[in-house]
């Protein structure tokens, strides 16, 4: 039997898809995942894996077409750009009704309680609710309210939650940081898509990143775009506006944010990167897998195939280095 791993999956928005590649590479190398802790997207991927539904989830996110993505975005103009009920409703259908204590391995989802300004660890109760609370990215997803508690992304206080697995009896602690700033040798793999699909995905990012936060008068058109009641191919004038906005989002690294949403998420990333370094220094994992944050923006959730492949590549390199020194 291979070594057992306590797996820590960090927060990082869309880059969290790399966690799928990490898990696949660990298992391909013969490592056995004995427990999982995660924040935000790490909590989502970790929970789906613990429930035994990761293959189905991967198949789904890799094959979403443009209209599928649009229709999953239930736009909100209150405490987040997206309510998240459609996205997490679909995940709930994958999982069914399952409690954390009934999972085959120990699992912890970390959220942030804004009311009491403290971390919340979900180690029992509804898995779906724990994942939803941990992944409530400020400005993007609306928070989860439980009584007097307002729960948002666990990455605000603990982007790499190592402490929940320190007492495990696993052979190794493997932590995944998807906000790394020093992995310059890695680039996002190129996976070809039909040109028509690519241009439509660009429109989606333009709609999210450039339009929602400002509530321009044209935003009255957006709900119809997102619920599929307006055909983007037929809506020539609207398509032109969105495509123009989208062009501003594709900026070179270190250029000024293109929108309020992007500025907020870049600010969160700066904070999470700093916090993550403290967590790693306080409880150094046996293996640290660093995924560079520059490979995609926080909310580019349409890049699942590329990010999964990159996660597997980086994990393979990290395991090679570890095994050379410990075998």
- What amino acid positions are annotated as catalytic residues? 40, 153
DSSP 116-170: TTEEEEE-SSBHHHHHHHHT--TEEEPPEEETTEEEEEGGGT-SS--GGGTTS--
Pairing, β 139-141 against β 144-146: unpaired
A 10 A CB-CB count for 158 gives: 25
CA–CA dist 220, 56 (Å, integer): 35
Q: For residue 148, what are the contacts with CB-CB under 8 A and spacing of at least 6? A: 115
CA dihedral (72, 254, 268, 280) positive or negative: positive
Residue found by looking up tokens 């490592």 in the block:
31
Distance in angstroms (rounded) separating the CA atoms of residues 80 and 16: 20
Contacts of 263 (CB under 8 A, 6+ apart): 257
Residue 47: helix, strand or coil by DSSP? helix
Structure tokens at 60: 């789904």
- Per DSSP, 75 falls in state B
Cα–Cα distance between 96 and 98 in angstroms, integer? 6
Q: Taken in order 160, 166, 168, 174, is the CA torsion positive or negative? A: positive
């Amino acid at each position: 039997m291979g070594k057992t791993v306590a797996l820590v999956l960090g927060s990082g928005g869309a880059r969290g898809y790399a966690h799928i590649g990490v898990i696949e590479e660990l298992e391909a190398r013969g490592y056995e995942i004995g427990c999982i802790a995660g924040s935000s997207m790490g909590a989502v991927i970790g929970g789906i894996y613990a429930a035994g539904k990761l293959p189905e989830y991967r198949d789904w996110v890799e094959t979403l077409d443009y209209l599928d993505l649009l229709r999953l975005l239930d736009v909100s103009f209150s405490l987040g750009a997206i309510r998240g009920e459609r996205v997490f409703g679909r995940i709930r259908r994958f999982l069914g009704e399952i409690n954390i204590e009934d999972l085959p391995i120990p699992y912890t989802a970390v959220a942030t309680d804004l009311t009491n300004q403290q971390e919340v660890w979900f180690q029992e109760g509804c898995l779906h609710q724990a994942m939803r609370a941990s992944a409530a990215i400020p400005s993007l997803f609306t928070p989860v309210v439980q009584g007097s508690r307002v729960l948002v992304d666990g990455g605000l206080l603990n982007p790499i939650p190592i402490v929940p697995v320190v007492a495990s009896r696993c052979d190794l602690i493997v932590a995944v940081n998807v906000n790394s700033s020093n992995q310059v040798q890695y680039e996002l793999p190129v996976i070809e898509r039909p040109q028509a699909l690519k241009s439509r995905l660009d429109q989606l990012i333009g709609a999210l990143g450039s339009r929602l936060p400002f509530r321009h008068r044209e935003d009255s058109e957006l709900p119809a775009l997102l619920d599929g009641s307006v055909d983007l191919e037929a809506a020539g004038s609207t398509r032109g506006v969105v495509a123009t906005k989208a062009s501003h989002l594709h900026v070179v690294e270190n250029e000024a944010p293109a929108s309020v949403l992007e500025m907020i998420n870049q600010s969160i990333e700066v904070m999470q990167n700093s916090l993550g370094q403290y967590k790693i220094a306080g409880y150094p994992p046996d293996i640290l897998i660093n995924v560079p944050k520059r490979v995609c923006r926080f909310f580019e959730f349409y890049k699942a195939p590329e990010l999964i492949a990159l996660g597997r590549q980086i994990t393979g390199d990290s395991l090679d280095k570890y095994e050379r020194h410990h075998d």
